[in-house]
Amino acid sequence: MKPRDTLGQKLAGYGISRRALLKFAAAAATSLALPPGVAPAIAESLSGARRQSLIWLSFQDCTGCLESLTRSDAPGIERLIFDFISLDYQETLMAAAGAAADETLVRAARDNHGKYLLAIDGSVPTAEGGVHSMVGGRTNMDMLAELAEGAAAVLAIGTCAAYGGIPKAAPNPTSAVGIADLVKEKPIVNIPGCPPIPEVLTGVLVNFLTFGRLPDLDDLGRPLAYFGTTIHDQCYRRPYYDQGKFAHSFDDEGARQGWCLFELGCKGPTTRNACASLKWNGGTSFPIQSGHGCLGCSEPDFWDKGSFYTSLSGGEGPPWDAVGGAAAVGLGIGGAAAFAARRSRAAVDRQLAKEWQRDHGATATSKTEEDGP
């Protein structure tokens, strides 16, 4: 092992001190929800970790995820992790193009077979054999199948890669799917979000570098450390929800007072993500803090769950004409039942009238005729 292959050496080469690494470890422990006491152990482990090869493929995506992960205006210490990672192939970032780029990919996959991490942003189109998204004449489906085979683990970055995202939204013309729908044999970690929070990817990488494995995942394949609680649970506006104080429109007094946005369609209660604690843009803010409800972008099928401005308790009730239709059907059936009952009653009345006629003849001041049919 060459000395520069460990992070410690590499950091030293950058002039990064032990204290800086320790500091980063403390931050990583915080973000991974590990006890703060383990920071020294993380630092030590990181310092001895080997350089990790990472191959990044972009499929049916908008590059927003990559923007989110790389466009940090003040590159923090987690930036170093990316530096330490050998980002062997990333079409958007790499200098190489054309055949040279392809060659890079082939070499990286061959040299680190079984050890590299495969990161993917964007969904995979499957309609018509996957021809809707191709790189260098090969479909995304093909590339995924081939490269996943040699990967140690797959990182599905962003909601599209994780669950299909916007390309999968109805009517889903390309039959887009998430990575987990196609890759069955490899461990997959989903880092959903539109875009995902950069710190989450860092945390997953730290976890992998430190402990050599992926973090604990929830039932939707997301790291529990970041997706274990709902936005609602961590939201600073939560006390207003508990007090029943809600903004009813985006410009009312409640909105100005910073009350709960539940009624304006905030999906916080059903969305698991770390936005409310890690926040965005270097911890500046997050959507709810800036006055807009959570869209639930890190949840599967978030685009197809009705309006972003329909509150959670709302749901999709039937429109008035359908209700009217149901009432009309009810009237019809009820009317038919009443008609049947009327007929049987009328038959009884007729029979009684006949008996009356027989027994009392002309005395019959019939009462049966005056009742309707």
For the segment 21-50, give every residue that binds another protein (CB under 8 A).
22-24, 26-27, 29-30, 33, 35-37, 39-40
> What distances in angstroms separate CA 252 from CA 235, 249, 256, one per listed residue?
20, 5, 6
At its nearest, how many Å lie between another protein and the CB of residue 190?
16
Tell me the C-alpha to C-alpha distance, in Å, between residue 310 and each of 70, 236, 264, 266, 313: 33, 21, 7, 8, 8
Interface of this chain with another protein, residues 175 to 214, rule: CB under 8 A? none
Binder among 16, 85, 166, 288 for another protein (CB under 8 A)? 16
> Which of 106, 131, 314, 354 is in the footprint of another protein by CB under 8 A?
314
Question: Which pairs from 102-111 meet CB under 8 Å and 24+ separation?
Answer: 102/136, 105/55, 108/53, 108/55, 109/55, 109/146, 109/147, 109/150, 111/53
In the block, which residue shows the tokens 């018509």? 128
Question: Least distance (Å) from another protein to the CB of residue 279?
Answer: 10
Q: Are the CB atoms for 227 and 218 separated by under 8 Å?
A: yes
Q: Which residues of 158-195 are buried (b: 16+ CB within 10 A; e: fewer)?
A: bbbbbbbbbbbeeebebbbbbbbebbeeeebbbbbbbb
77 near another protein, rule: CB under 8 A = yes
96 vs 352 by CB, closer to another protein: 352
Binding window for another protein (CB under 8 A); candidates: 111-119, 125-133, 135-143, 357-365: 357-365
The one segment of 52-60, 133-141, 287-295, 304-312 that binds another protein by CB under 8 A:
304-312
> Site for another protein (CB under 8 A): which residue of 90, 174, 207, 311?
311
Residue among 223, 153, 220 at smallest CA distance from 188: 153
Distance from C-alpha of 92 to C-alpha of 89, rounded to nearest angstrom:
9
Which of 107, 113, 213, 248 is close enough to bind another protein by CB under 8 A? 248
# chain residues binding another protein, by CB under 8 A: 96
Binding another protein (rule: CB under 8 A), the pick from 262, 266, 286, 297 is: 262
Under the criterion CB under 8 A, does residue 68 sit at the interface with another protein? no
State yes or no: residue 321 binds another protein (CB under 8 A). Answer: no
Contacts (CB under 8 A) with another protein, residues 336-355: 337-342, 344-346, 348-349, 351-352
Among 103, 283, 285, 354, contact with another protein (rule: CB under 8 A): 283
Does 277 interact with another protein (rule: CB under 8 A)?
yes
Least CB distance from residue 169 to another protein, whole Å? 13
Q: How far is the CB of 93 from another protein (least distance, A)?
A: 21
Nearer to another protein, 89 or 262 (CB): 262
Nearest-approach distance from CB 134 to another protein, in angstroms: 30
3-state secondary structure string, 25-58? HHHHHHHCCCCHHHHHHHHHHHHHCECCEEEEEE
Structure tokens at 336: 């038919």
Distance (Å, rounded) from C-alpha 29 to C-alpha 16?
Answer: 19
Strand partners, 217: 223
Which residue from 150, 175, 305, 308 is in contact with another protein, where contact means CB under 8 A?
Answer: 305
Q: Which of residues 131-170 bind another protein (CB under 8 A)?
A: none
CA separation, residue 279 to residues 161, 167, 197, 237 (Å): 22, 26, 8, 14
Our finding on whether 20 is near another protein (CB under 8 A) is yes
What's the min distance (Å) between Cβ of 137 and another protein?
Answer: 36
Nearest in space to 161 (alpha carbons), one of 140, 135, 139, 132: 140
Query: Amino acid letter at 75?
Result: P
Measured in degrees and rounded to the nearest 5, phi and psi for residue 311 equal -70, 160
- One of 4, 71, 354, 360 touching another protein (CB under 8 A): 360
DSSP code, position 60: B
